[in-house]
Amino acid sequence: AELRGHHQPAKNLAFSSDGKTLAVSQRDSVKLWDLESQRALMVLPTSRTSNTRYVKFTADGRQLLFGGPDEHLPCLPVNAYL
């Protein structure tokens, strides 16, 4: 499927446990996609220098972990966006 509106190269991908949501890390953001509607649910800006390398949903799908080379992994509650 083509996700329209995704303009930067994807660095990492993570699927939610139910397979309905895709998290994509880019150079300066993490974007959540609803795969059924192929629409962006939210865009989380990150620092242009953060170089987000990791993106992973928790097992229950309620939070998203993401981080860069400093290995700092913030937790984002995503259930409000799903």
Q: What is the pLDDT of residues 23-59, one digit of tens each?
A: 988 877 888 999 999 898 888 877 655 667 778 888 8
What is the CA angle 11-15-20, rounded to 5?
130
pTM of the predicted structure, to 2 decimals? 0.77
Rounded Cα–Cα distance for residues 77 and 61 (Å): 9
Mean pLDDT of the chain: 78
- Strands of the sheet with 29-34, listed across from one edge: 12-15, 21-25, 29-34, 39-45
Gap between the Cα atoms of 15 and 21, Å rounded: 6
- The residue to which tokens 């993570």 are assigned: 14
